[in-house]
Amino acid sequence: MGRPVLFRGAWRSRALPWLVPVLVVIVWQVSAQAGWLSSRVLPAPWAVARAGWGLAVSGELWEHLRISALRALWGLLLGGGLGLALGLLNGASRLAETLLDTTLQMIRNIPVLALIPLVILWFGIEEAAKLSLLALGVFFPMYLNTFHGIRSVDPALIEMGRSYGLSGWRLYRDVILPGALPSILVGLRFALGLVWVILIVTETISAQSGIGYMTMNAREFLQTDVVLLGILLYALLGKLADLCARGLERRLLRWNPAYRPA
């Protein structure tokens, strides 16, 4: 007959990718309930779900979620915006590139997380510290990709644009920016990935609110289910951000056959 039912048609594309995760969760629940896994090491999925429900009902969950998401958003806007602006500037102007690029490359090589003690000294442990770290981490992927995108726009298209009367802002808007857009969106996806990593670390080290704080607090009280919940929340938020970026790509890069949904 051929392949078994499970591997055919709609099953294959929709249901099959979930087969392994579901199996893992089932095995996990069974092992927890049978006592092979101590609840202190790894709580049962049911316990995690119950903890999540409890926090959601009491309103704490939404508060922490909101604060973490806001931090990530601000960091992205600040660092990403700055990276985009400088990338556009250095890409378009040779003078700006000569003046600024070397300095930026030197700063890039400093690992962001190694700056934490310095940042705490300068900004304390309040929001400014977190924001500066987030912005710094997010800045470089955006800057590099924007710069590269602008520089690698097809010169033949720029020449065509010039010979058809486009110049200055209109050339930029119609030829250079859209040409650089695929690179810029790659930079955005990198930035989105990084923002969560840095957020986790900064929230764990010094925070009064946010998912990291919730997780740290739970650790103090040995609430491993809440700790796990925090991790899952980070993963979920990261996935959501990636989905947004993908959606943006699909909308803005519709013209490119490589980005069409299959």
Partner 1 sequence: MFVNLSEFEFLQFLEPRRADPAAEPPAAAPAQPAVRVALRGLHKHYGERHVLKGLDLDIAPGEFVAVVGRSGCGKSTLLRLLAGLEAPSAQPGGADEAVRFDAAAQAGADERVRIMFQDARLLPWKRVLDNVAIGMPPRVRVQAAAVLRQVGLGERGGEWPAALSGGQKQRVALARALLHRPGLLLLDEPLGALDALTRLDMQQLIEDLWQRDGFTAVLVTHDVHEAVALADRILVIEEGRVVLDQRVALARPRNRGSAPFAALEARVLDAVLKRRREPPGADRPLAPVIPIGHLRLAV
Binding site for partner 1 (CB under 8 A): 156-157, 159-166, 173-175, 177-179, 181, 252, 254-257
Supply the minimum distance, in Å, between the C-beta of residue 262 and partner 1. Answer: 16
Closer to partner 1 by CB, 178 or 193: give it. Answer: 178
CB of 169 to partner 1, least distance (A): 11
Q: For partner 1, which is the closer residue by CB, 157 or 231?
A: 157
Please state the closest distance from residue 95 (CB atom) to partner 1, in A. Answer: 23
Residue 41 or 258 with smaller CB distance to partner 1 = 258
Q: How far is the CB of 222 from partner 1 (least distance, A)?
A: 51
CB nearer to partner 1: pick between 225 and 249: 249
CB nearer partner 1, residue 48 or residue 175: 175
Minimum distance from CB of 256 to partner 1 (Å)?
Answer: 7
SS (H, E, C) the chain: CCCCHHHCHHHHHHHHHHHHHHHHHHHHHHHHHHCCCCCCCCCCHHHHHHHHHHHHHHCHHHHHHHHHHHHHHHHHHHHHHHHHHHHHHHHHCHHHHHHHHHHHHHHHCCCHHHHHHHHHHHHCCCHHHHHHHHHHHHHHHHHHHHHHHHHCCCHHHHHHHHHCCCCHHHHHHHHHHHHHHHHHHHHHHHHHHHHHHHHHHHHHHCCCCCHHHHHHHHHHCCCHHHHHHHHHHHHHHHHHHHHHHHHHHHHHCCCCHHHCCC
State the minimum distance, in angstroms, from the CB of residue 168 to partner 1: 13
Q: Which residue has the tokens 């809440």?
A: 226
Return the number of the residue (4 or 165) whose C-beta is nearest partner 1.
165
